């Protein structure tokens, strides 16, 4: 088994996700599995994993491999953020840390006609023997991304003298805190250090408590054998029960510190009972939540995803004919494009290769390719200097119920046709289904999200947002194409505009079209000069059209405008409330101001505005 973790940042950055990967890698290595963590899609492609784990909702699915998202952050951090929600929807499945997040994501994907796989995942550790020997003190590991959250509690606890504090130094610390110890991000040092501590203070953020989403601290403590002293967290209570000690983290800091002191006194006075508590928590962790156990599900999930990539039974026997235009480029690119059609999970695929140049050579090349289930025929097209001529020649050769387009230098992920067909099968009134598009920069070996959105007729009329090869359409749309418009370029957008006037277009919400580009490619650079003239012609052709693609139903337009206005009003109100809450918190304000430069460098101004608005939706504010 080969597992790749698609990282949200450079793998060498010392963040908690890097530590989690080292622990996961240790568990995988025990099984003889290969494991990679990288934010470089080229490295992931070269690794050729059986399964990709997207470690954060900031990471969309960008590679053709089965991909599941690790949903170990509560919805509070991503709900209402359009890009994050689209990233979550782009995955083939999801691993959840709590039932509420699972319900939330199920709501998000409920309208999609594709099957998502599910499993369980928590930020945990590899299985480790329970440490024996002398223990002392209370461990507290700060969350680097939100250090000020429990600072008042930590300062109050520190006055009792037995606190061991871990994490990077912080100039915003109040006086009296012990010096922090910075442990290496090696997957083992944290648990080893906890094996020397009597207890660990495990505090969660408000969103984590409300959703019942566990953080890593409770699993680290259980693995290391430190007695868990946790806040009133539903997951911890339900899972560890009497194998942990609890307190009310919403109480005043002095009261929280006093509760911690009582627990520490009990541990010191009852060593045998404390050891029994450690053993019980360690057993629960080892049997249910160690990475060695969680990875058991991964081979089955990868197989489930590939099975879910199949076409719906209602259209599995229907052929899809793909128009592949070629001429003037290396035939190796044509071979790659045809190979991506051969790898489709939809069983019935045909290709009409439209050769607008060197038709005889293309015919020989296709005939010499190894036999496969892909039915290929070559059609010659005049070399008129207009890209539209080859496309309309291909449209005239369609003889199946569904058709698509693929340029010879682009490719499709294996589940592309099946994903679009699933929408068409589920919605008979939809005439064309399109997928999201990943831009593949072959010169720099990188992948980025290009287009992935709802179909907005007004926006689409202003600019193309659907790649030329990202869609599958019903043959009943063919008459709407009309005659060849003799376009040098932008013919694909013009065709889709014609289809938008005649039929209904819907997204598949699968990221499966790969738009490939290379520096210095003369087959593309020459087209840029002709683009303005083609755009002018498109505007003229639709100027007097009785039906225009930008004209949604009036009631739909009014509803969309109303929803947009309401969302904006809610967000502004949340921002005002959040800013007021921060300014009233005079004690924590100096620390937040000191941390502001680092926060801005990581999250930017938009991230700061989101954080303030998020503060405005906390209960009681």
Which residue's structure tokens are 């950055």?
Answer: 13
- By the 8 A CB rule, do 37 and 10 touch? no
Q: Residue 469 corresponds to which tokens in the numbers above? A: 């090869």
Q: Which helix (H) or strand (E) holds 280?
A: helix 271-284
- What residues does CATH 3.90.550.10 cover in the chain? 318-543
Q: Cα 270 vs. chain centroid, distance in angstroms?
A: 47
The whole-number pLDDT of residue 563 equals 52
Of residues 613 and 326, more confidence is placed in 326
Which two tokens mark 353?
A: 């290769």
With a pLDDT cut of 70, the percent of the chain lying above it is 89
Tokens of 605: 């101004």
For residues 356-375, give the mean pLDDT: 95
Strand pairing of 245-246 and 227-230? parallel
Question: What's the 3-state SS for 386-400?
Answer: CHHHHHHHHHCCCCC
Place of tokens 């990188």: 446
Neighbouring C-alpha atoms within 13 Å toward the C-beta of 546:
1
pLDDT in tens, 560-594: 455 555 556 555 666 677 677 767 666 667 777 77
- More confident call, 440 vs 572: 440
Q: Measuring CA to CA, how many Å separate 350 from each of 293, 312, 415, 493?
A: 44, 18, 16, 23
User: CA dist 408 to 241, 326, 346, 352, Å?
Assistant: 60, 6, 20, 12
Nearest Cα to Cα of residue 318 among 399, 429, 255: 399
Q: What would the mean pLDDT of 175-183 be, rounded to a whole number?
A: 87
Q: Across residues 341-360, what is the average pLDDT?
A: 97
The residue among 12 and 100 whose pLDDT is bigger is 100
Distance (Å, whole) CA 322 – CA 353: 8
Greater pLDDT, 560 or 341 = 341
CB 309 within 8 A of CB 414: yes
d(CA 203, CA 249): 7
Q: What pLDDT digit, counting tens, does each position of 208-264 carry?
A: 999 999 999 999 999 999 999 999 999 999 999 999 999 999 999 999 999 999 999
Whether residue 482 is predicted with pLDDT greater than 70 in this model: the reply is yes
Mean pLDDT for 40-55 is 98
* Stretch among 62-71, 393-402, 584-593, 611-620 having the lowest mean pLDDT: 611-620
The CATH classification of domain 2-123+298-305, taken from the options 1.10.3720, 3.30.70, 3.40.50, 3.40.630: 3.40.50
DSSP symbol at 181: B
168 confidence band (pLDDT: 50, 70, 90): confident
Under a CB-based contact definition with an 8 Å cutoff, are residues 211 and 76 in contact? yes
As a whole number, mean pLDDT of residues 380-386 equals 95
On whether the CB atoms of residues 229 and 201 are closer than 8 A, the answer is: yes
HSE-CB for 211 with a 13 A CA cutoff: 26
The more confident residue out of 586 and 40 is 40
Whether 588 contacts 152, CB under 8 Å: yes
Question: How do the residues of the chain divide into helix, strand and coil, expressed in percent and rounded to 5?
Answer: 45, 15, 35
Distances (CA, A) of 489 to 356, 417, 493: 15, 25, 9
* pLDDT, tens digit (0-9, with 9 covering 90-100), for 512-538: 999 999 988 776 655 778 899 999 999
Question: Residue 197 has what pLDDT?
Answer: 98
Q: What is the CATH number of domain 138-289?
A: 3.40.50.2000
**Using the 8-state DSSP alphabet, how is residue 532 labeled?**
H
What does the pLDDT average to over 114-131?
Answer: 97
Higher pLDDT, 126 or 523: 126
Q: How many CA atoms lie within 13 A of 55 on its CB side?
A: 22
How far is the C-alpha of 244 from the C-alpha of 240, rounded, in Å? 6
d(CA 483, CA 479): 9
- Identify the pLDDT of residue 175: 76
Distance CA 378, CA 355 (A): 7
55-59, 129-133, 414-418, 572-576: least confidently modelled range: 572-576
Q: How far, in Å, CA of 608 to CA of 602, rounded? A: 10
Nearest to 279 by CA among 345, 336, 223, 360: 223
Please state, in angstroms and rounded to a whole number, the distance separating the CA atoms of residues 219 and 284: 10
| C-alpha dihedral (63, 66, 70, 74), degrees to nearest 10 | 90
Residues 488, 419 contacting (CB under 8 angstroms): no
Instruction: List, for residues 387-419, the tens digit of each pLDDT value.
Output: 999 999 999 999 999 999 999 999 999 999 999
Hey, which residues does 324 pair with through a beta bridge? 353, 406
Decide: 348 and 317 in contact? Cβ < 8 Å: yes
Task: Encode pLDDT of 484-515 as tens digits.
Answer: 999 999 999 999 999 999 999 999 999 999 99
Architecture of the domain delimited by 318-543: Alpha-Beta Complex (3.90)
Quick one: average pLDDT of 589-615?
68
- Examine the pLDDT at 550 and tell me if it is beyond 90: no
Question: Whole-number mean pLDDT of the chain?
Answer: 91
Q: Residue 548: what pLDDT?
A: 75
Read off the pLDDT of each residue in 191-195 and give the average, rounded to a whole number. Answer: 98
pLDDT of residue 570: 59
C-alpha pair distances (Å), 547 with each of 490, 541, 543, 550, 552: 20, 12, 10, 9, 10
Distance, in Å, from the CA atom of 94 to the CA atom of 78, rounded to the nearest integer, reads: 15
pLDDT at position 554, please?
47
Phi, psi for residue 165 in degrees, rounded to 5: -105, 135
What is the pLDDT confidence band of residue 174, given thresholds at 50, 70 and 90?
confident
Residues 276, 273: Cα–Cα separation, whole Å? 5
pTM recorded for the entire structure: 0.86
Nearest to 353 by CA among 318, 394, 398: 394
**Encoded tokens for 489:** 């370029």
d(CA 441, CA 198) in angstroms, rounded, equals: 53
Tokens of 22: 């080292």
Quick one: pLDDT at residue 180? 87
């Amino acid at each position: 088994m080969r597992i790749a973790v698609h990282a949200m940042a450079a793998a060498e950055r010392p963040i908690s996700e890097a530590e989690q990967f080292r622990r996961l890698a240790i568990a995988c290595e025990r099984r003889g599995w290969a494991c990679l963590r990288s934010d470089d899609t080229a490295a992931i492609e070269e690794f050729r994993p059986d399964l990709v784990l997207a470690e954060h909702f900031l990471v969309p699915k960008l590679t053709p491999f089965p991909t599941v998202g690790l949903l170990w952050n509560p919805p509070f951090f991503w709900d209402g953020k359009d890009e994050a929600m689209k990233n979550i929807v782009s995955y083939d499945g999801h691993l959840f840390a709590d039932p509420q997040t699972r319900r939330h994501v199920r709501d998000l994907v409920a309208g999609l006609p594709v099957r998502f796989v599910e499993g369980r995942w928590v930020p945990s550790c590899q299985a480790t023997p329970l440490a024996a020997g002398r223990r002392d003190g209370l461990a507290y590991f700060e969350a680097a991304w939100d250090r000020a959250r429990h600072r008042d509690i930590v300062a109050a606890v520190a006055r009792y003298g037995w606190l061991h504090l871990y994490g990077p130094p912080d100039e915003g610390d109040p006086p009296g805190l012990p010096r922090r110890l910075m442990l290496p991000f090696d997957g083992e040092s944290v648990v080893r250090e906890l094996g020397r501590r009597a207890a660990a203070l495990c505090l969660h953020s408000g969103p984590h408590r409300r959703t019942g989403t566990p953080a890593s601290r409770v699993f680290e403590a259980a693995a290391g054998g430190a007695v868990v002293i946790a806040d009133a967290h539903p997951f911890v209570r339900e899972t560890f029960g009497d194998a942990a000690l609890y307190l009310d983290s919403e109480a005043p800091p002095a009261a929280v510190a006093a509760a911690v002191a009582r627990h520490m006194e009990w541990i010191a006075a009852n060593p045998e009972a404390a050891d029994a508590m450690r053993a019980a928590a360690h057993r629960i962790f080892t049997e249910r939540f160690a990475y060695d156990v969680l990875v058991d599900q991964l081979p089955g999930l990868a197989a489930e995803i590939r099975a879910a990539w199949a076409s719906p039974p209602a259209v599995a026997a229907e052929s899809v004919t793909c128009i592949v235009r070629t001429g003037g480029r290396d035939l190796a690119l044509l071979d790659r494009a045809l190979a991506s059609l051969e790898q489709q999970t939809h069983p019935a695929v045909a290709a009409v290769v439209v050769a607008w140049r060197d038709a005889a050579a293309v015919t020989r090349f296709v005939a010499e390719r190894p036999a496969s289930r892909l039915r290929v025929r070559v059609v010659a097209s005049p070399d008129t200097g207009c890209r539209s001529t080859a496309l309309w020649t291909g449209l005239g050769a369609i003889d199946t119920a569904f058709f698509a387009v693929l340029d010879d230098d682009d490719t499709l992920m294996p589940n592309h046709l099946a994903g679009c067909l699933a929408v068409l099968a589920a919605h008979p009134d939809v005439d064309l289904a399109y997928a999201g598009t990943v831009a593949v920069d072959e010169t720099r070996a990188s992948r980025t999200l290009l287009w992935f959105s709802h179909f907005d007729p007004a926006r689409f009329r202003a600019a193309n947002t659907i790649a030329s090869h990202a869609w599958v359409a019903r043959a009943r749309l063919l008459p709407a194409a009309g005659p060849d418009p003799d376009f040098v370029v932008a013919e694909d957008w013009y065709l889709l505009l014609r289809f938008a006037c005649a039929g209904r277009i819907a997204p598949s919400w699968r990221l499966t079209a790969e738009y490939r580009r290379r520096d210095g490619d003369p087959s593309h650079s020459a087209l840029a000069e002709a683009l303005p003239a083609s755009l002018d012609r498109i505007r003229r052709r639709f100027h007097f059209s009785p039906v225009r693609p930008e004209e949604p139903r009036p009631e739909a337009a009014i509803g969309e405008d109303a929803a947009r206005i309401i969302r904006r009003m809610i967000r502004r109100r949340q921002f005002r409330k959040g800013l007021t809450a921060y300014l009233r918190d005079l004690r924590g304000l100096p620390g937040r101001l000191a941390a502001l430069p680092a926060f801005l460098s990581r999250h930017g101004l938009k991230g700061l505005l989101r954080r303030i608005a998020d503060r405005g939706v906390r209960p009681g504010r």
